[in-house]
Amino acid sequence: MKRFLLGAVVVGVAVAVEVLWPGHALYHYGSYNVALAALVVVVPIWGRRYAGRANGVRARTAVLAVVLGTVATGIAGVANGLFAPDDRTYVGAPGEHVRVEGLGTLVFPLASQAAALPEVALERPLRPPLQVGTRARNAGSFILRATPRSAVYVEARDAAGDRLTITQPQGAVFLSPVLLMQHQQKIEGMDLPFDSFNIPAAHRIVRAIMFTPAQAALLARAATAPGEGAVLFVVDDESDRPVPHGIALSAGGRPVSVGGLVLRGTLASYPQVDVLAAPNLIAVAIGSLLIVAGLAGTLLSQEPRTKSPNSQLGT
């Protein structure tokens, strides 16, 4: 009996841990999944033997519940371990719709400079949208959570102060003043995110390199106040040739004249969405309930131990 119940509990706990702490590589290891699958096979065999010795319908029903629960949770766990896609992080521009295979479409919020990280909506076929924030949300066989990533809001004006259109022909969306800084560049030992954008009206291509407040503080001539980030703008013409006075630093979101333009770069946070594969929550919930109910039923249906004649005699 002990190994039967222990096996069921091990399966239930292991799969519950996968749901509660998703995203670990262990869950996809072959040996881990072989062990889980082996338990899914042997627990019903042990259960059958135990049911054969059990007295009464109630006890046998409890054993059946434990077996069914173990099978349900175990299959969900093994399916997640062997067939689920790799964990992924989805990055989207404000307003962008990003399709996630097998799940739906992530709709990234419009650019916001609010302090709180905005939520990303998951639109699913035949189901209501799910708002994904910093708290993990379960969506069937996936767990989603939004985490902040650095972004830079840019604004461009000509020398007369007229606003200019910003385009990102190489970016995820064509029209956007929000740079997602998905590339990395090393300058003086610092890993710095960078991105680029075009100003078609001025025939200029601009590279923006982001400095966090800590990195900006290390720059000798940055003129940044403590806690201020900075954006280094490098302006080229449409043939990628540097233009005169084409390098300048915009610190603390202040505008800077560079290459005949006035540019402003403001550091901000924008959400990205981690999509982690997890055992199907409904299957695990049903399975866990069956295991718990079956365990309780099994323990309650055990006959109380009768004292041995020897103990009665006090020997």
* Contact footprint for another protein (CB under 8 A): 44, 57, 60, 64, 67-68, 71-72, 75-76, 79-80, 83, 93-97, 99, 101-104, 110-111, 125, 140-142, 161-166, 173-177, 200-201, 279-280, 282-283, 286-287
Q: Are 109 and 93 in contact (CB under 8 A)?
A: no
Q: Are 76 and 281 in contact (CB under 8 A)?
A: no
Structure tokens at 96: 């962008």
73, 74, 157 from 258: Cα distances, Å: 61, 62, 11
User: Rounded to the nearest 5 degrees, what angle is found at the Cα of 234, between the Cα atoms of 195 and 244?
Assistant: 160
Phi-psi category of residue 56: left, alpha or beta, with phi > 0 → left and psi -120 to 50 → alpha: left
Q: How far apart are CA 98 and CA 249, in angstroms?
A: 33
Q: How far apart are CA 116 and CA 7, in angstroms?
A: 45
For another protein, the closer CB: 122 or 249 = 122
Q: Are 204 and 237 in contact (CB under 8 A)?
A: yes
Q: Shortest approach of another protein to residue 102 CB, angstroms?
A: 4
Q: Nearest Cα to 283, choosing from 85, 23, 70, 106? A: 70
Beta strands in 78-199 (DSSP E): 88-90, 97-100, 104-107, 120-124, 127-132, 137-139, 142-157, 178-179, 183-187, 190-199
Q: Shortest approach of another protein to residue 210 CB, angstroms?
A: 20
For another protein, the closer CB: 131 or 167 = 167
Q: Shortest approach of another protein to residue 226 CB, angstroms?
A: 30
For another protein, the closer CB: 6 or 282 = 282
For another protein, the closer CB: 60 or 145 = 60
For another protein, the closer CB: 111 or 217 = 111
For another protein, the closer CB: 24 or 99 = 99
Phi-psi category of residue 299: left, alpha or beta, with phi > 0 → left and psi -120 to 50 → alpha: alpha
For another protein, the closer CB: 154 or 216 = 154
